[in-house]
Structure 1
Amino acid sequence: MLCLSAFLSLPLARAEPIRYSVAEEAESGSLVGKLAEDAGLTPAQLSARRARLVSEDGRQHFRFERASGRLVVAGRLDREELCGQAATCMLPFELLLSSPLQFFRVEVTLDDINDHSPVFPEERVTFKIPETSEPGSCFPMEAAQDLDIGSNTVQEYSISPENEYFRVSYGSRITGKKSLELVLEKPLDREEHAEMGFSVIALDGGSPPRSGTTHVKIFILDVNDNAPIFTQEEYIAQVLENMPEGSVVLTVLATDQDAGVNGDITYQLSQAVGKSDSAFLIDPITGAIKLTKPLDFEAAESHEMSVRATDGGGLSAICKVLVEVVDVNDNAPELVVSSFSSPIPENTVPGTVVALFSVRDRDSGANGKISCALEDQLSFSLRPAYKNYYELVTVSALDREETPQYILSVTAADAGSPPLTSTQTFTVDISDVNDNAPVFNQTSYTMYVHENNVPTVFVGAVSAGDADVGLNAKVTYSLAPEQGAERPSCSCISVNSENGHVFVLRPLDYEHLRQTEVTVSACDAGSPPLRANVTVRLVVLDENDNAPLVLYPAQDGSPASSELVPVWAEAGYLIGKVVAVDADSGQNSWLSYHLLRATDPGLFSVAVQSGEVRLRRPVTERDSVKQKLVVLVRDNGKPPLS
C-alpha cells in the first residue's frame, strides 16, 4: 500500500516539454542536451527505473545515455527528408521511466543548414523572341528551387556574362508568389543578332552561399507579337487520394490573339525539383492534367507544379497549379505496446497498471481521430495516460481460482465513414497466492478396526483439496495435538503425511478400548501456510475372543455344587440355576445353556436361555439318591466358545 501511495503521488508526465535544438546533419553522438539533468533525474534513477526513449512512429533519431544522462544524435538527420519544406521541423518523443511509470515530453527542433544548392527545373531554356518586342517586355522563367528554408533558400538571381539586352527580375506578384522573368532592356535586331546565349545564376543566402545555373538560349524571330495568356495565374484543385489512375484533375486554358501557327498553343507540365516520379501528366493539346497513379495524402498533402503554354511562334506563358490531396479513411489505427505485465498476482490491488500502449492514425481530421474501447470486461478498464497513450488497469479484486486467465481485446476505431478499426489482444495470466486453506472432503471420518488386529493395519484415509496451485496447493497431513485433558491422545494411530492414509500401529482389545478420536491436520506449503482440521473417530469391532465365564456354581477348584431335591418334588421343580457371563459384546456374548451329561439324563432339563435346572418328571424310588449333572455354557460367536 505504501508503494501504491508513492506511485499515485508522482506526476505521470511533466506538463511542459523539455525542448532542445540541433542542426541537421550533426554527427552521430553529437550532444543534444543534458536530458537527465533537465528532467531532474540522477544516473542511478535512470538505471533503476529502466529509462528509455519512446516515439510515436517507432523511429529513434536520438540515443539516451543512461550512464551520463546525455541525449545525443543517433544517426544522420536530414531535415528535408524528415519535414520537407515545413517552416519548423520538430521531432517529439517521450522519456519513459518505469517503477513507477513517468513520462517526460521532449521536443527537439531540427535547424536547417545550407546543404542544398538551388536547382532549376531545366538545365537549358530556350526562348523564341520576336524582334518587334519592346524594351521592358518580360519573359517568364521557371524559378530555381532550393530544398532548404529561410535564408538558406534562393535569395537572388544574376546573368553571366552580363548582357546588354536582358536583365533578370525576381519579385513578388499581386498574389504574393515570387516570379522570375527576363526583362528586355533594349530593342532587338534579328539581322544583327539572330541568337544569343547566357546563364542565369540562382544564389541562396547560406554561409557560404550555394548557387544553381540554367543556360538560356534566345532565338530572335520576326513576327509573333502576342504571347499566350492563361485564364488564371494559379489553378487549385482538390483531389481525393483514392481517385483512380487516369482521372482528370483539372484543365488549364491559355489563349493567344495571334492567328494560324502563332496562335496554336501546346502545354508542357513541369514538376517540382526532386519529383522525378511524377503522378501527373498533361494533354499537350487540351491542357487536361491527369493522374498517372493514385495519390497518397499521408505521403504528400499537396502537389505544386507549373504549366508552360507555348504558341507556334515560340512565345510562352507559365501558370502555377496546386493540387490539394483530400484525405480518405484508408489507414486503420495502429496500437503500439510500450509495456505489458503478465502474469500478475491475484492479490493485485485495483488500479494497478497492466499495460501501456499508444495509438496513432496516419489519416487526418475525423479520419485520424481515435477512440479506444475494452470489450466486455468488469475486472479491467482503460484510462487515458498522456496525449495518445492509454493504460490498461485493474478495477476490481482478482481471484485466480475463479478466473485464471483473462483475454482482453482492445479495439481502436477512427471516426471515419465507414470507421476503420484495429484490435490488440492482451492475454493476462493470474498467478496464485496462498489464499485458500485445505478443505477435507468430509466433515468428519469414522473408521473401523477389528480387535486383535495386526500391527500397522490400514483402516482408511482422509483427503483434503486446496483450490490454489503449486506449492500453495501441496497438502501434507499430520496428527494435531489434542487440546485439554478431557480426551487423551491415542498413540495407537498414525497418518501418512503424503497421502492421508490412517494406520493402527498396535493390536487393540475391544474389552479395554471400544473407540477413540484423533484430530488430523491438513497443511499446505504456502507462505505463510494455511491449515484445516478434521476429527477421525476409530471404532474397535469386537471379536469372539472370550469364552463364557461361569459365575455360579463357582469354578475356582472347589467341590461341585450340591443341591437337595425333596422326594415329593413334582415335574418342573426348580433345582438351581447356572449363572454365566461373556466379556464380548453383541452376538459374541449371547449365551445358551445345555445339559451335557447326567446320571439320568431323562430326569433333568436345563433352560437354554436362563440356565435354570428343573425336574422333567417326579422322583421315584428307583432313581439314584445322588445325581451328577454337567451343564455346557456356549456363546453365539463364530466359532462359538464354551
Structure 2
Amino acid sequence: HLHSDLGSRFPLEAAQDLDIGSNTVQAYSISPENEYFSVAYRSRSEDDKYIELVLEKPLDREEQSEMSFSVIAVDGGSPPRTGTTEVKIVILDVNDNPPIFTQERYFGKVLENMPEGSVVLTVLARDQDAGVYGEISYQLSHALGQSDSAFVIDPITGEIKTTKPLDFEAAQSHELRVSATDGGGLSAICKVLVEVVDVNDNAPEVVVSSFSSPLPENTAPGTVVALFTVRDRDSGANGKISCGLEDQLFFSLRPAYKNYYELVTVSALDREETARYILRVTAADAGSPPLTSTQTFTVDISDVNDNAPVFNQTSYTMYVRENNVPTVFVGAVSAADADVGLNGKVSYSLAAVQAAEGPWCSCVSVNSENGHVFVLRPLDYERLRQTEVTVSASDAGSPPLRANVSVRLVVLDENDNAPLVLYPGQDSSPASSELVPVSAEAGYLITKVVAVDADSGQNSWLSYHLLRASEPGLFTVGVHSGEVRLRRPVTERDSVRQKLLVLVRDNGKPPLSATAAVSALLLKDLSDVRLPGHSSPAPEDQAGSLTTYLIIALVCVSLLFLVSTALFVARKVCKRKELKAGHVLYGADNLQSGLADGAAAGSLPRAYCYEISLTTGSGNSEFKFLKPILPSVPPQHCAVGQGPEDEQHFPCVPVSTEDTAPDNPGTLSAGHFNSLSFN
C-alpha cells in the first residue's frame, strides 16, 4: 500500500542465494518495467545487503489504483540464474482532488405561489477521491444583501428547496452560492440563480391623491371631484390595469396622465333628488383570472337655496263662530321647503298685498313659527260673513324664497238674535183687533204673525206656537206659516173679544223666542162696532150705562162707516188706475238695517197673498196693521186678491225671499223680508 510522495523508497526483502561469491545475487530488475517504480540494490556491508523500490513518478490513484510487477533477482553464475517475486502495489488515496460541480452556474425557475418545501433544483459535485475524501457535503450561502431564509439545501443530495412562498414583487430573482466540501476539507463553489416567475397574486391598487366632498348642488358639469392613480405590482398582463365606474349618469372617469384618472361631474346635480352619491371605481388587471379592487367615493351634495316653500294646499278655508273669544285658534297653514338648514327653515307672515276679492280683515294673525292662524277679536256674523287674507311662507336662505297662499276665513252663525215680530206690532201703541164674523167656518184665516230672525241657516228657521188663548180650542196657529185660523166654527158661547199669545221660536241651540199678542173680535154682522181700547166685557152691574154708550157709539160708527165707504170707493178708483200702470206699494223703509242685510240667508221661502175681509168699522184696525210697515215708497205691482162677492177685500201681503230654508219652509228671515204689498 503506497501513499507517498515522489522519491519515496520502499524496502523489500533481498533474495537468498546459497551460492557464494560471484554466483550469488548480483542485480535486481523489474518486469515489466514501469515508469513509476525502480529497484535499488544496496549493501551496508558484505553481509548486509538490501533492495528498495524507489518511486520514480507520483502515483495517481484516480488513474490507477493498483499495479503489480515482478522483481527479478539475477546471480552472477553462468548461466545466470534468476529468482522472481511478485509485488502488488495498492495505491492508497490521498485527498488530492477537490470536489467539482457538474456546472459552474445553475439556473432555476419557481412560481411565486409555490408552497413551502418545493424543490427548486439540485446541484451536483463530484470528487475523484475515495472513501472519506470522496464524501461531499453541500452548504448554501447567499449573495451579499440577500436574505438567506427563502431557500435551504440538502447537504447530502444537494436539493435546493424553498422555506416559504416567494414574492415576485419583493424579489424577481435570487442568486445563491453553493459550496461542496469533501472529507479532507477540499471544497468547491458554484452559483445558483433562481428566477421567480410572476403569478397574478396582486390586485390593482387605487391611491387617491385628492377628493372634494361635500359638493354644492349647483356645481357646473366637468368639475373634478377626485384625482387618483392605479398600480399593480404584478408584471406583464398581470399588471395591466383598466378602470371603470358603475354610475355614469352624473359622474364619469377620464384619464389624466400615465396611470392617473379624474372623477368628474357630467350633469347638473340636485340635492333634493339625491343628497349622497356612493361611487365605486373598479380597477381590474388583465391576468387570468383577473383580479379587481374597488375604491368607494362617497360624495355628499351640499344644499343651495333653489327651492321655494310649497304649501300643502292650494288654498285654505277656515271657520270661526261669531262672538268668538279673542285670540282663538282657527287652523294652521303648512308649507314645506325641500332645502335643508336655513334654506329649508320656513317662517310665516301675512302678505303685504291682500287679495283683491272680499274685504280685508285686520283681525287675523298668523304665528311665524308654526303657521297657526288666530282671530284676534270677536266677530259678528251679521256684519262680516267671510274675509280673505294672503299668508306668505318664506325660507331663511340668502336670498330668501317665498310662496303665497290664500286663506278664506268663514264666520259661522251663532244663534245670538231672537226673532223679531213685524206684525202685529208689539210697540206701546194700543193693540188692534182682528174682526172675525161669527159665521166663519173652521180654517178661516184670521191673521198672520210675521216675524224675522237676523241669524241664518237653522238659527233663522222660525216656528209658531199658540202659547195662550182665551179659547184654546177655538184657534190654531200654522207652525211654519204663522197663520192664525179658526180651528172650529164660532158658537154663541164664545166671548166676543178673544186674546191670543203666539210664541215665535227659532231653530237654534239653544232656541231664542219672542211673543206676539193677537186680539180678535167675533162680530155677527158688518154693523157691529169695534170698541177700541176695551180689554174686557162690561160688568153686569153697569149694563144700563153700557147700552147708552153703545147706542151713541153705533151712531158714530155708522157715520164713520159712511165716510170710510166713500173714502174707500174713491181710493179703490185711484188704486185701479195705479194698478193699470203696473205699480205696487212697498213698505220696507222702517225695517232695521240689520234685516236688510239678510238677503242671502232668509227664512221666507215663497210669496204669500192674504185676503182680509173688513166689516163695518174695521178700517181702523186694518190700517194700523199697515202703518208700521208701509212708508211712502214708489208704488209697484201686486196681484189683486179675489174673494166672495159679499166681502170687501183689503190688503194682500206677498212676502218673497231669494233663499228657501229646506227644513222650515214657512219662516221669515230679516234678510228675506223684502216687501209687503196690498191692494
Larger mean Cα displacement after TM superposition, 269-278 or 319-328: 269-278
Give the partner amino acid of 2:111: L
Corresponding residue of 1:574: 445
Give the 3 Å change call, closer, same or farther, for CA 563–364 of structure 1 in structure 2: same
Give the partner amino acid of 1:504: V
Give the 3 Å change call, closer, same or farther, for CA 258–469 of structure 1 in structure 2: same
* CA–CA separation in structure 1 for the residues paired with 2:468 and 2:349: 59
Select the residue among 335, 341, 361 that pairs with 2:212.
Answer: 341
Select the residue among 297, 300, 314 that pairs with 1:429.
Answer: 300
* CA–CA separation in structure 1 for the residues paired with 2:313 and 2:380: 28
Give the 3 Å change call, closer, same or farther, for CA 306–499 of structure 1 in structure 2: closer
* CA–CA separation in structure 1 for the residues paired with 2:367 and 2:494: 72
* CA–CA separation in structure 2 for the residues paired with 1:631 and 1:411: 96
Corresponding residue of 1:641: 513
Map 1:26-175 onto structure 2 (within 5 A). none
Give the 3 Å change call, closer, same or farther, for CA 547–314 of structure 1 in structure 2: closer
Give the partner amino acid of 1:355: A
Answer yes or no: is the 8 Å Cα contact 1:341–1:354 preserved in 2.
yes
Q: Shift of the alpha carbon at 1:503? A: 1.1
* CA deviation vs aligned residue, 1:151-200 (integer Å, no higher than 9, x gap): xxxxxxxxxxxxxxxxxxxxxxxxxxxxxxxxxxxxxxx9xxxxxxxxxx
Give the partner amino acid of 1:639: P
Select the residue among 557, 560, 564 that pairs with 2:431.
Answer: 560
- Counterpart secondary structure, 1:564: strand
Answer yes or no: is the 8 Å Cα contact 1:473–1:525 preserved in 2.
yes
Give the 3 Å change call, closer, same or farther, for CA 345–624 of structure 1 in structure 2: same
Q: Shift of the alpha carbon at 1:518? A: 2.0
Corresponding residue of 2:194: 323
- Counterpart secondary structure, 2:380: coil
Larger mean Cα displacement after TM superposition, 285-294 or 335-344: 285-294
Give the partner amino acid of 1:336: V
Give the partner amino acid of 2:425: A
Corresponding residue of 1:370: 241
Corresponding residue of 1:277: 148
Q: Shift of the alpha carbon at 1:614? A: 3.4
Give the 3 Å change call, closer, same or farther, for CA 566–327 of structure 1 in structure 2: closer
Give the 3 Å change call, closer, same or farther, for CA 307–503 of structure 1 in structure 2: closer
- Counterpart secondary structure, 2:425: coil
Give the 3 Å change call, closer, same or farther, for CA 617–351 of structure 1 in structure 2: same
* CA deviation vs aligned residue, 1:450-489 (integer Å, no higher than 9, x gap): 1111111111222222232222222211222345644332
* CA–CA separation in structure 1 for the residues paired with 2:446 and 2:296: 101
Corresponding residue of 1:397: 268
- Counterpart secondary structure, 2:244: strand
Q: Shift of the alpha carbon at 1:336? A: 2.1
Corresponding residue of 1:355: 226
Q: Does residue 1:502 correspond to 2:373, yes or no? A: yes
Corresponding residue of 1:444: 315
Q: Shift of the alpha carbon at 1:525? A: 1.8
- Counterpart secondary structure, 1:563: strand
Q: Shift of the alpha carbon at 1:387? A: 1.6
Larger mean Cα displacement after TM superposition, 443-452 or 225-234: 225-234
Give the partner amino acid of 1:462: V
Q: TM-score normalised to the size of structure 2?
A: 0.55
Select the residue among 380, 391, 394 that pairs with 1:523.
Answer: 394
* CA deviation vs aligned residue, 1:231-257 (integer Å, no higher than 9, x gap): 544432222233344443333455677
- The runs of 5 or more residues in structure 2 that have no matched partner are 7-57, 59-92, 515-679
Give the 3 Å change call, closer, same or farther, for CA 480–310 of structure 1 in structure 2: same
- The runs of 5 or more residues in structure 1 that have no matched partner are 1-129, 132-189, 191-221
* CA–CA separation in structure 2 for the residues paired with 1:440 and 1:276: 76
* CA–CA separation in structure 1 for the residues paired with 2:104 and 2:361: 113
* CA–CA separation in structure 2 for the residues paired with 1:598 and 1:224: 165
* CA–CA separation in structure 1 for the residues paired with 2:177 and 2:472: 151
* CA–CA separation in structure 2 for the residues paired with 1:446 and 1:416: 71
Q: Shift of the alpha carbon at 1:307? A: 4.9
* CA–CA separation in structure 2 for the residues paired with 1:574 and 1:279: 132
Q: Shift of the alpha carbon at 1:599? A: 4.8
Give the partner amino acid of 2:416: D
* CA deviation vs aligned residue, 1:566-619 (integer Å, no higher than 9, x gap): 454444433332222111122222223344444555544433332333344555
Q: Does residue 1:467 correspond to 2:467, yes or no? A: no
- Counterpart secondary structure, 2:269: coil
Q: Does residue 1:544 correspond to 2:544, yes or no? A: no
* CA–CA separation in structure 1 for the residues paired with 2:156 and 2:150: 19
* CA–CA separation in structure 2 for the residues paired with 1:552 and 1:278: 128
Give the partner amino acid of 2:336: G
Give the 3 Å change call, closer, same or farther, for CA 301–625 of structure 1 in structure 2: closer
* CA–CA separation in structure 2 for the residues paired with 1:576 and 1:564: 9
Give the 3 Å change call, closer, same or farther, for CA 559–323 of structure 1 in structure 2: same
Q: TM-score normalised to the size of structure 1?
A: 0.58
* CA–CA separation in structure 2 for the residues paired with 1:372 and 1:312: 62
Corresponding residue of 1:455: 326
- Counterpart secondary structure, 2:338: coil
* CA deviation vs aligned residue, 1:18-47 (integer Å, no higher than 9, x gap): xxxxxxxxxxxxxxxxxxxxxxxxxxxxxx
Percent identity reads: 86
Map 1:18-29 onto structure 2 (within 5 A). none
* CA–CA separation in structure 2 for the residues paired with 1:576 and 1:283: 142
Q: Does residue 1:410 correspond to 2:281, yes or no? A: yes
Answer yes or no: is the 8 Å Cα contact 2:503–2:513 preserved in 1.
no
Give the 3 Å change call, closer, same or farther, for CA 313–555 of structure 1 in structure 2: closer
Larger mean Cα displacement after TM superposition, 452-461 or 544-553: 544-553
* CA–CA separation in structure 1 for the residues paired with 2:153 and 2:293: 40
- Counterpart secondary structure, 2:342: helix
* CA deviation vs aligned residue, 1:525-582 (integer Å, no higher than 9, x gap): 2223222332222222212221222222333433212433445444443333222211
Give the 3 Å change call, closer, same or farther, for CA 291–602 of structure 1 in structure 2: closer
* CA–CA separation in structure 2 for the residues paired with 1:236 and 1:558: 144
How many residue pairs match? The answer is: 425
Give the partner amino acid of 1:640: L
- Counterpart secondary structure, 2:256: strand
Corresponding residue of 2:502: 631
Q: Shift of the alpha carbon at 1:490? A: 1.4
Give the 3 Å change call, closer, same or farther, for CA 225–526 of structure 1 in structure 2: same
Give the partner amino acid of 2:421: V
- Counterpart secondary structure, 2:318: strand
Give the 3 Å change call, closer, same or farther, for CA 599–341 of structure 1 in structure 2: same
Give the partner amino acid of 2:218: N
Corresponding residue of 2:174: 303
Give the partner amino acid of 1:466: D
Q: Shift of the alpha carbon at 1:627? A: 4.2
Corresponding residue of 2:383: 512
Corresponding residue of 2:41: none
Corresponding residue of 2:109: 238
Corresponding residue of 2:524: none
Larger mean Cα displacement after TM superposition, 334-343 or 565-574: 565-574
* CA deviation vs aligned residue, 1:303-358 (integer Å, no higher than 9, x gap): 33455667789887665433222222333333222222222223333333222222
Give the 3 Å change call, closer, same or farther, for CA 230–517 of structure 1 in structure 2: same
Corresponding residue of 2:481: 610
Give the 3 Å change call, closer, same or farther, for CA 622–394 of structure 1 in structure 2: same
* CA–CA separation in structure 1 for the residues paired with 2:439 and 2:137: 170
Give the 3 Å change call, closer, same or farther, for CA 225–603 of structure 1 in structure 2: closer
Give the 3 Å change call, closer, same or farther, for CA 361–563 of structure 1 in structure 2: same
Answer yes or no: is the 8 Å Cα contact 1:271–1:278 preserved in 2.
no
Structure having the higher Rg? 2
* CA–CA separation in structure 1 for the residues paired with 2:179 and 2:388: 111
